[in-house]
Amino acid sequence: MQTLTPHVYWAQRHGEIYLRVELSDAQVAQSMHSQGHGAKGENEYEFSLDFLKPVKAEVTHRSTQRQVNITVKKRERGWWDRLAAQERKPLFLAPDFDRWLDESDAEMELREKEEKLNKILFESRIPKDPYLGLKKGYLFMYNLVQFLGFSWIFVNMTVRLFILGQDSFYDTFHTIADVMYFCQILAVIEVVNPALRLVRTGVLPPLIQVFGRNFLLFIILGAQEDMQNKPVVFFIFYLWSTIEIFRYPFYMLACIDTEWKLLTWLRYSLWIPLYPLGVIAEAVAVIQSIPIFDETKVLSLPLPRALGTSLSFSYILQLYLAVMFLGLFINFRHLYKMRKRRFRAKKKKAN
Ligand SMILES: CCCCCCCCCCCCC/C=C/C(=O)SCCNC(=O)CCNC(=O)[C@H](O)C(C)(C)COP(=O)(O)OP(=O)(O)OC[C@H]1O[C@@H](n2cnc3c(N)ncnc32)[C@H](O)[C@@H]1OP(=O)(O)O
């Protein structure tokens, strides 16, 4: 049997060299002298390489049906300009394009590996929360109830709109208010959840949202019957429920560590037109209520005689109008950040 030289393919990382020898069914001798099926059939194959820089003595090799994979560790970490000490590349040697990386890609690969390792180490150090299942179960139930409530509102209003047309605008409050009261009282929980660290978000955005909606629902609409049959109520309730029928199922899926891409996109995109529209509709309701509060004196503050009879609630409403747009700005910025964080995280996963 004659001794031949096999084709050898190589690639490197900062700490090691990979050699792939194209030999099928090879039996490798300790000295890297092997017998197997190469390009010229069953033979003995041998190659020797004078490496550019020193390497460690231990060499690992693994034979598969089609090739022999050899890993050699560099004595010092670093990037080599070439593999062999001699400037002219040996004829049997070629780059292994399946594993080939240039220096910056190899660094990136290394960094990713380190990041993964750090993450695993970090996660293994965090003690597992014994109440995690209970918390997720509670959040799931909360979101389910809200989803059902807002779905009922949305479907009811849509059906009434189809059947009654514009007439349905005028009695929205009387048909929907009870369920809306229920959902919005329950929504106070959304301020409590981040305060108790049950969800990973701040307290201020849900506080602004719950306060803003409940102020409108219970005070402007609830305390003034004349406001209740205005068409603006229809638009406010419809805008609120449109966003919520996507937001709550998104949270429900998050509770069971599931994601539905379309739903995620809707949850983090629909607010862009809906939030400003919602605040505009609410501002219209506040403006419409000002003369009514002036006239009825409901919620007006009694004043000492010297200052006049009472301070109309409409002054508070005028102040509130300005605060509303500040609230819109804070929440719009918050939602923009959340959207960016969500889609950046997804992009990273995809890469
Ligand atoms: C001091 C008081 C000041 C008062 C001032 C008042 C001014 C009022 C003016 C404003 C009036 C606004 C009134 C409202 C109008 C409308 O609603 S118009 C209709 C359109 N509306 C919207 O589009 C807004 C809908 N609401 C929201 O989007 C949110 O409620 C929020 C208020 C913006 C808060 O969002 P946030 O929870 O912070 O972000 P998310 O990305 O959704 O969640 C962050 C992480 O938390 C997890 N999570 C949150 N809630 C839950 C939950 N219930 N269940 C399970 N998990 C939850 C979520 O999954 C995220 O986790 P990660 O994925 O791990 O990040």
Bridge partners, 9 (sequence order): 20, 94
Percent of the chain topping pLDDT 70: 94
Query: What pTM, to 2 d.p., does this model score?
Result: 0.70
Q: Which of 200, 244, 268, 328 most suits a substitution to test ligand 1, by most atoms within 8 Å of the C-beta?
A: 200
Residue nearest to atom 20 of ligand 1 (CA): 275
The CA distances from residue 190 to 126, 143, 177, 219, in Å, are: 26, 10, 20, 20
Over residues 31-47, mean pLDDT: 66
Cα(35) to centroid(ligand 1), Å:
68
Would you place residue 118 in the very low, low, confident or very high pLDDT band (cuts 50, 70, 90)?
Answer: very high
What is the rounded CA–CA span in Å between residue 134 and residue 255? Answer: 11
ipTM: 0.95
Q: Which of 25, 27, 46 is nearest to 37 (CA)?
A: 25
Over residues 329-340, mean pLDDT: 95
Percent of the chain topping pLDDT 90: 66
What are the pLDDT digits (tens) for 152-182? 999 999 999 999 999 999 999 999 999 999 9
Side-chain half-sphere exposure of 310, counting CA atoms within 13 A: 14
Q: Which of 335, 340, 344, 348 most suits a substitution to test ligand 1, by most atoms within 8 Å of the C-beta?
A: 335
Phi-psi label, residue 23: left if phi above 0, alpha if psi -120 to 50, beta otherwise: beta
The Cβ of residue 147 has, within 10 Å, a number of other Cβ atoms equal to: 20
9 is catalytic: no
Q: Which of 2, 70, 10 is nearest to 41 (CA)?
A: 2
For ligand 1, residues with CB inside 6 Å are 139, 143, 199-201, 205-209, 211-213, 239-240, 243, 247, 251, 254-255, 271, 274-275, 278-279, 323-324, 327-328, 331, 334-335, 338
3-state secondary structure of 24: strand
**What pLDDT score does 37 carry?**
57
Residue nearest to atom 10 of ligand 1 (CA): 327
Q: Contact 36/47 with Cβ under 8 angstroms?
A: no
Phi-psi label, residue 89: left if phi above 0, alpha if psi -120 to 50, beta otherwise: beta
What are the pLDDT digits (tens) for 205-254? 999 999 999 999 999 999 999 999 999 999 999 999 999 999 999 999 99
